[in-house]
Amino acid sequence: MISTELKNCHILLVDDEQSELDAYSLLLTSMGIRHVVTENDNRRVCARLTTMQSPIVFLDLNMPYMTGQDVLRQLKVKHPQVPVIIITANSEIETAVECLRLGAHDYLVKPIDLKMFSSALRNALEISLLRNEVMSLKGISFTATGRRHPAFDRIVTRNPAMLSIFQYIESIAASGMPALILGETGSGKELIARAIHDISGVSGEYVAVDVSGLDDTLFSDTLFGHVKGAYTGAEGARSGLVEKATGGTIFLDEIGDLSEVSQVKLLRLLQENIYYPLGSDRPKQCQARIVTAANKDLTMLAGQDGEFRMDLYYRLSTHLIRLPPLRERREDIPALVDFLAAEAAAAMNRKTPAVSDRAMALLMNHPFWGNIRELKAYIADAVARCDQGLITENLIAERLTGRSPGATAAPIEAASLAALFGRFPTLEELTEFAVGEALATTDNNQSQAARLLGISRQALNKRLKKKN
């Protein structure tokens, strides 16, 4: 039996063939759906959506005027909340993956099976209803007139997941409870932390510190300060950053790299709201909100490896925010490129250059493992070298591939594992090799090597001690 929600949902069918539109319309009306709109010109899709209530779009990929991918990009910028289901005769997996990366909800290949069509529609409707319910509970809508807090102005996005994070931040900012931000390196964790501070309306300072390179003593001294004579060279008392952030926010970045001893100190700070400066037996009251961030999955570190205290994780993650990487919000890349190009040009006292379509295409297809930080580096470099007011594909390709598009790639000789080790290596030998290469690459910087290996600094230290 068809649900009331399905009967009353609004469907927009986009296809240049009238016979296809008629067939889909008949199929939908036979399912009991009352509101079906058809469109044979993909240039008018956005205009159509402005008059529809919580629509779901079925979009044919191969149409005149604009490519289906271009229409999809446009929809994800102007109507990020609208689920888009791609319909096409193209069964190439690369095309399907690209559409899903651009934000498509589902991908159906012609001839379409009735059960697949119905299942895709029901799933899209469920997602749409849940999203609208969450937005309604938070008192925020996706309408064109909706306004967001100025604290988010430096975070360029139209991605639905990011917009949901904004609304979550607005709802929890004033609580004063700890917040944990998880996300890959370069994904914008500090911008999110700063937004939490700004929206909370507190009068104190925002203080940020990267704790990844701090040993236990330096961690205590940096956060809690010391009294005169606490250690050799401590000629006077010094306040720590926790005190500096009184009435405000202290942001601890790369919290996953804390040693076990430092984790205990931070846990006591969260549990008892007090701390002891080095060399003092008199506690001080913590009057700062604690926001932390990590580029690792702390639940895995706490559960499987035991490198991070589970009780500390629960204390830190009273409010938990998971930032999507840039490759999962590709619809943001064009706007980010424009923003970063304008920012770089202003810093260099230059006119903001335009970006060629082919250069943009290269950026849209790049995986960006370094996220927005990586994109920022490429754009700043391209702006500095741009002399014609246009960032061309050459300027981008040289950074992405290390050579210009027209250059011939040097032949690469691949050495097999057997050739490299003289025999097929064990997993332990492969691990040792990877550790050695990471340390060599980073000039024996253990924090950087741990990041390359995707493990904590403590795990790397344990392996090195075991080897020694």
Question: Which of 30-34, 35-39, 325-329 is least confident?
Answer: 30-34
Is the pLDDT higher at 70 or at 101? 70
Radius of gyration of the chain (CA): 27
Of 455, 168, 178, which is closest to residue 311 (Cα–Cα)? 178
Is the pLDDT at 68 greater than 60, yes or no? Answer: yes
Task: Taking residues 353-378, report their average pLDDT.
Answer: 91
CB atoms closer than 10 angstroms to residue 256: 26
Is the pLDDT higher at 81 or at 165? 165
Which pLDDT belongs to residue 414?
A: 37
pLDDT tens, 421-461? 556 667 777 788 788 877 777 777 777 777 777 777 777 77
- Provide the CB-side half-sphere exposure for 274 (13 A, CA): 7
The H or E element that residue 289 is part of is strand 289-294
Q: Give the integer Cα–Cα distance in Å for 308 and 256.
A: 7
Residue 410: pLDDT band by 50, 70, 90 thresholds? very low
pTM of the entire structure? 0.59
What are the residues facing 36 on neighbouring strands?
A: 11
Is the pLDDT at 143 greater than 50, yes or no? Answer: no
Which pLDDT belongs to residue 304?
A: 60
Q: Give the integer Cα–Cα distance in Å for 284 and 192.
A: 28
Place of tokens 């701090």: 214
Residues composing the chain: 468
Is the pLDDT at 162 greater than 60, yes or no? Answer: yes
Is the pLDDT higher at 266 or at 423? 266
Is the pLDDT at 25 greater than 80, yes or no? Answer: yes
pLDDT tens, 269-311? 998 888 988 888 888 999 999 999 999 888 777 766 678 888 8
Question: Which of 59-73, 195-209, 239-253 is least confident?
Answer: 59-73
Question: Which of 120-124, 139-143, 210-214 is least confident?
Answer: 139-143
Which pLDDT belongs to residue 109?
A: 84
Phi, psi of 385 (to 5 degrees): -95, -5
Share of the chain above pLDDT 90, in %: 29
Residue 159: pLDDT band by 50, 70, 90 thresholds? confident
